[in-house]
Amino acid sequence: MEESVVWQFNRSMEEILGVKEVDVREYSPLTLAYIGDSIYDLIIKSLVVNEGNRPVKELHRQTSRYVKASAQSQMMRVLQDKLTEEEHGVYKRGRNAKSVSPARNQSVTDYRRATGFEALMGYLYLRKEWTRMLELVKEGLESLAESE
């Protein structure tokens, strides 16, 4: 991504929407997972739409394969060894957070590992470490493709 585009997006978020710099260390792991879930969903939807125009039902089916907890959990098994100490700490905080919502149709282990993954995505997004976030997503998706 061209540096000026990133800078322009940041500036627009600040000027137009009033988004301010934050200290992500002050956010709970579940808050990080909340925003991380959204940004990861947007990344996957962008990739799926980029593959070509299709009926929305097919777009949703394809997206669901990658955003479900079991897929995120599988990705995290591969990514854990590639995380920095700080990133691993964020992941563990997210994984160990007590969530209010139950794991629907997912094992508790997968759900918790996925929550850690989403917390990590939220952390990297809010720190504007988008290149690192996308590198990890790419590696995780490649690991899913290899296991198919």
Q: Does 121 score more than 60 pLDDT? A: yes
The structural architecture, per CATH, of the domain 27-147 is Orthogonal Bundle (1.10)
Residue count (the chain): 148
Pure H helices in the chain: 3-17, 29-50, 56-67, 69-79, 85-96, 108-126, 130-147
User: How confident is the model over 85-96, as pLDDT tens digits?
Assistant: 999 999 999 999
Q: What local confidence, expressed as pLDDT, does residue 90 receive? A: 97
Domain map (residue ranges) of the chain? 27-147
Residue 4 has a pLDDT of 73
Is residue 60 over pLDDT 80?
yes
Residue 3 predicted with pLDDT over 70: no
Q: Residue 117 contacts by C-beta under 8 Å, 6 or more apart in sequence? A: 36, 40, 72, 73, 75, 76, 79, 91, 94, 140
Which amino acids are annotated catalytic? Answer: 37
